[in-house]
A and B are shown apart, each in its own frame.
Chain A
Amino acid sequence: MKNEWPLWEIFIRGQHGMSHRHVGSLHAPDAEMAIKNARDVYTRRNEGVSIWVVEANHISASSPSDKGPLYEPSESKVYRHPTFFDIPEEVGAM
């Protein structure tokens, strides 16, 4: 069996009210150690108020070659943006 500690992806909530953001990864034997290491590696200067760790092999990612079918359809749907609609000035803020 391979004896390398698994890779963990680290997500940090920078401030109260913000969502967790991916900041990087690290190796650790288990989740508890991953959190401890993440605290040392990624929050040495008050960068965080909360840490999530996820084992990297549990993350499924979209494939770069699917970029077209996944994201192009929304390009033509300009009416999804509020600026698509002309609202008469007389109506006021909307």
Chain B
Amino acid sequence: MYAQMIKSEATQDDPEKLAAFQARIDAGEKIEPKDWMPEGYRKTLIRQIGQHAHSEIVGQLPEGNWITRAPTLERKAILLAKVQDEAGHGLYLYCAAETLGVSRDEITEMLLDGRMKYSSIFNYPTLNWADIGAVGWLVDGAAIMNQVPLQRTSFGPYSRAMIRICKEESFHQRQGYDAIRQMAEGTPEQKKMAQDALNRLWYPSLMMFGPSDKDSVHSAQSMAWKIKMNTNDELRQKFVDQTVPQAEYLGLTIPDPDLKWNEERGHYDYTDPDWSEFFDVIKGNGPCNVDRLAARNKAWDDGQWVRDGLLAHARKKAAGKHAAE
């Protein structure tokens, strides 16, 4: 998911207040920023929403990489619109996190110096145009799996951000499927590229849902607080079940020889990703971790004079207006 391995923060609050808070959540009430909330709820949400926001922003890099090299003007305009949406998603989510008492600069700096993470998926490269189709289809597809239930999350600003985001995500997945479909139905070389993209991105996409439930710590508290709506394995299974027929339609093969329909369970059986690779990427050793952080740091540093200049101009104008009154 865009937020992986979010550890719920311990909470040391008045038990009576905690019980009343839990009762509000159980009754389906939304918690708003000025309402009383346990410290653990606040801290866990800052971490989770922040990581989600960072993922939207860093996620622009692998796709932005292909905007100037899109095969047609139409594909370029579509990809540009998609990447612009992701910037918007980052902004909606940063604002939701800010209502919990963290400032935009603080949360940005925590990404830039590595104290906060973003989704492991964006540490994989986009090597060619087929990857752009596969990213929209699989990565946005996996994100949607998690984001749809999060529209019902207990924290009001987070829920509202997710509702806006979900309205836009369906375009992302469809444009990706459409792009890879064109390649799968194209020349044998193009079809080979589409298959190769699926081969490389399948397991990293499965990793997006986070570790297997048996190794996933701290999710009970988050589920009670309704900031995590489903377990990792539930969502991963849903994603596999949805994606297999989509791949079949394209005539592409999921790179998992053990993938097969299980009549009894009513689900596909599939092979888990290599979790040691996942933990290694999280630790910073994926193919693109260094590049991604360097690109974000460069953008932040290069933009400093613009932020300062516009603010100085605004202050000068405000002071002038004040003097004239």
CB nearest neighbor in A for B92: A24
Can you name 24 A-B residue pairings with CB atoms under 8 Å?
A: A3-B307, A4-B104, A5-B310, A7-B95, A24-B92, A24-B95, A24-B160, A25-B98, A29-B307, A29-B310, A29-B313, A30-B318, A40-B84, A40-B88, A41-B88, A41-B92, A44-B84, A44-B88, A45-B168, A63-B34, A64-B32, A64-B34, A64-B35, A64-B36
Q: Within the assembled complex, what's the spacing in Å between the Cα atoms of A29 and B84?
A: 21
Could you mark each residue 294-325 of chain B with 1 if its beta carbon is under 8 Å from any beta carbon of chain A, else 0?
00000000000001101101100110000000
Is the C-beta of B105 less than 8 angstroms from some C-beta in chain A?
Answer: yes
Q: Would you call A61 and B314 a contact (CB within 8 A)?
A: no
Chain B residues near A41 (CB-CB < 8 A): 88, 91-92
* Binary contact readout B194-208 vs A (1 if CB under 8 angstroms, 0 otherwise): 000000000000000
Q: Do B314 and A30 touch across chains, with their CB atoms under 8 A apart?
A: yes
In the assembled complex, which residues on chain B have CB atoms less than 8 Å from the CB atom of A27? 104
**Total cross-chain contacts (CB, 8 A):** 49
Residues in chain B near residue A54, CB distance under 8 A: none
Residue from B34, B84, B317 within 8 A of A61 (CB atoms): B34
**B84/A4 in contact, CB under 8 A:** no
Query: A92–B34 Cα gap in the complex (Å)?
Result: 48
Assess the A3–B311 pair: CB atoms within 8 A.
yes
For A4, list chain B residues within 8 Å (CB).
Answer: 103-105
Q: Choose one: A5, A40, A61; the contact of B311 (CB below 8 Å).
A: A5
Q: Which chain B residues lie closer than 8 Å to A24 at the CB level?
A: 92, 95, 160-161, 164
Which chain A residues (4-51) contact chain B, with CB distance < 8 Å? 4-5, 7, 24-27, 29-30, 33, 40-41, 44-45
Are A26 and B91 CB-contacts (below 8 A) given A3-B311, A4-B104, A33-B310?
A: yes
Q: How far is the CA of A4 from the CA of B314 in the complex (A)?
A: 12
Closest to B105 in A: A4
Residues on A with C-beta less than 8 A from B317 are 30
Interface size on B, residues (CB 8 A): 27
Instruction: Tell me how far the C-beta of A41 lies from the nearest C-beta in chain B, rounded to whole angstroms.
Output: 5
B85 lies within 8 A of chain A by Cβ = yes
A-B CB proximity, top 9 nearest: A30-B314, A29-B310, A29-B314, A25-B95, A29-B311, A64-B35, A4-B105, A41-B88, A64-B34
**Other CB < 8 Å A-B pairs besides A26-B95, A44-B88, 20 of them?**
A3-B308, A4-B104, A4-B105, A7-B95, A24-B95, A27-B104, A29-B307, A29-B310, A29-B311, A29-B313, A29-B314, A30-B310, A30-B313, A30-B317, A41-B91, A44-B81, A44-B84, A44-B85, A45-B168, A63-B34
Q: Which residues between 78 and 127 of chain B lie within 8 Å of chain A, taking CB atoms?
A: 81, 84-85, 88, 91-92, 95, 98, 103-105
Chain B contacts for A3, CB-based, 8 A? 307-308, 311
Whole-angstrom CA separation of A47 from B32 in the bound complex: 25
User: In the bound complex, how far is the Cα of B314 from the Cα of A25, in angstroms?
Assistant: 19
Which of A5, A7, A33, A45 is within 8 Å of B98, CB to CB? A7
Nearest neighbor of A42 in chain B, beta-carbon distance = B88
**Residues of chain A contacted by B161 (CB below 8 angstroms):** 24
When distances are taken between beta carbons in the complex, the residues of chain A under 8 Å from B318 are 30
Q: B98: which A residues are within 8 A, CB to CB?
A: 7, 25
Give A30 to B311 CA distance when docked, in angstroms: 8
- Across the interface, which residues of A come within 8 angstroms of B103, CB to CB? 4
Using a CB-CB cutoff of 8 Å, which residues 132-177 of chain B contact chain A?
A: 160-161, 164, 168
Which chain B positions have C-beta within 8 A of A25? 95, 98
